[in-house]
Structure formats: C-alpha cells, structure tokens
Amino acid sequence: MAATSKLRLATDAGVAPAQAALAARVTGVRKVFDGKAVLDGVDLSIGQGEFIALLGKSGSGKTTLLRMLAGLDDVDSGSVLVAERRTVVFQEPRLVPSKRVLDNVLLGLDRRSQRQAALAALDEVGLASHADAWPATLSGGEAQRVALARALLRAPQLLMLDEPFAALDALTRIKMQALVAQLCRRHQPAVLLVTHDVDEAIQLADRVLVLSGGRTVLDERIGLDHPRQRGADQFDRLRVRLLRTLGVTETP
C-alpha cells in the first residue's frame, strides 16, 4: 500500500526546480472502496501560493483526495507528495467544547510560547474579543473563523478547506468567502478548496478542477481579475461551462 510522503520545498537544498515550486504533487493515485474505484489514476499538482478549487458530484472522490493530502487516508497505488506543514478546515469546525476559544486555537501547541501569536490569529479573523468564550456560545460563522485561525496559526504551506462554508447561511457564507480570500492573499499558503458551489470556486480560485468517474475531467486556470463579479459576462460563461462539465444545465 502506498503512503503519503512529504515534499521538500524550495528552501531545501538540492531540490530540483520542477519540484521546488510545488506544495503538493499527486501522481496516478487510485483508491478503491467496496470494489469501486473512487479515484482512478488522478494526477494533481499545487504550486506554492496557488488557490485550487476542486469540484465534482457527491461521491466523486473530492474529500478522499483531500484526506490523502492531509495524511488521513492511504492510497492503494500511485504517489502523494505533500508539504510538511499542512492543515485542514473541515465543514464542521471541530472545536473542543470543554476548551475556551483561545485554547482551541492553541490545541496541540505550547500555550506559553504561542499565546500572543494565537491572539493575533484571532484578531485577524475578527474574534480577539472572544478569546475566553466557550464554543457553545459561538455562531456557526464564528466557530468556523476560530477553526480558520487555528489552521493559519500553524503557518501551513498547504491549507485544505473541505466545504468549510456549506453549513452557513447565505450572508455568513459570503462574508467567510471574503475573509478567506483576504487571509490567503496575506499568508500565501497553497490552498485546496473542496466545494459543490461553482460560483464559490470561480470567486476564489486560481484554478478549477472537476473530478468525475475517478479522474480529472477538467483543469482550467481562471483568467479573471479580482474582484470577480457574479453576473459579469466572463464569470457567467465560465459558470455555464463548469456546470455543463458537472452535468448540470440551467433553464431560464
């Protein structure tokens, strides 16, 4: 059984130029569940600082691929090379109910040496005043912002977002998208966003990939300047093309 390996980055001596610019590289990955190949020869590269959105129908293998990059699942064949510092923000914030917000951000880190950095991370997501709050008192959007602060505190080379806005109401979702875009521009991690939302993918990503039948059926760079406006001609043409790739045809 193949395993996830760590990818040496540009700061490491002796790294080939083609590999040095990558935060992750997936080559010929195959994963079978109950006799069905969920991933069947998938290739993927994520450059340092690049924001990739991964689209696909339910069961297309999006989260499976993310979990492999996170080191949570093994591959059946192929190889996964990934940066050592990697973090995941899931759909559920996964906060520890018995720990206050600050301690959730510091989870697994030294509280004394990292306290100021953790407070700064909370300030970045607009929750400095909630450091001593309990998770149960937070709204869904606030809890997800805590999870984001916890991830960014670890200075990830690869930040993975597994449908992090799916459980939020529409207005909170838009605010969170804007916050993620701002923080990613500031910190410059490589990002892999798993989403079902085509508009969200176009709004945030540098590249959009579509998984279908266990393979990548589309890999397209988004040549639109920021800020991107829903309803603009180029935005809408790309939206229609992505929806058709996903097997969706909108009716007037």
**192-223 residue pLDDT tens:** 999 999 999 999 999 999 999 899 999 999 98
Q: Which of 134, 78, 73 has its CA nearest to residue 102?
A: 134
State residue 252's pLDDT score.
53
Confidence class for position 15, pLDDT limits 50, 70, 90: very low
List the one residue out of 232, 217, 222, 166 whose CA is nearest residue 61.
Answer: 217
3 state SS of 175: helix
Is 50 exceeded by the pLDDT of residue 99?
Answer: yes
Of 197, 214, 243, give the one whose Cα is nearest residue 60: 214
CA dihedral 25, 26, 27, 31 (to 10 degrees): 170
For residue 126, the SS3 value is coil
CB 156 within 8 A of CB 189: yes
Output the domain CATH number for residue 134. 3.40.50.300
Q: Which residues pair with 79 in a beta bridge?
A: 27
Tens-place pLDDT, residues 107-118: 999 999 999 999
Sign of CA dihedral 212, 22, 30, 36: negative
- Alpha helices (runs of H) in the chain, residue ranges in sequence order: 17-20, 62-69, 101-105, 111-124, 140-153, 170-187, 198-204, 233-245
What the block records as the tokens of 237 is 């043409």
Residue 250 lies in a domain: no
Let me know if residue 251 belongs to a domain: no
- For residue 94, is it within any domain? yes
- Rounded Cα distance, 219 and 211, in Å: 9
Q: Is residue 216 domain-resident? A: yes
Tally of CB atoms within 10 A around 204: 24
Q: Which is more confident, 226 or 232?
A: 232
Residue 71 pLDDT > 80, yes or no? yes
Average pLDDT over residues 78-107: 96
What's the CA gap between 163 and 195, in Å, rounded?
A: 5
Partners of residue 60 on adjacent β-strands: none
Tell me the mean pLDDT in the region 146-153.
97
Q: Amino acid letter at 158?
A: L
Number of independent structural domains in the chain: 1
20 three-state secondary structure: helix
| Residue 25 parent element (H or E) | strand 22-33
Identity of the residue numbered 34: D
Residue span of the structural domain in which 166 resides: 4-245
Cis bond leading into 227, ω under 30°? Answer: yes
Q: Is residue 162 part of a domain?
A: yes
For residue 184, is it within any domain?
yes
- pLDDT for res 230: 86
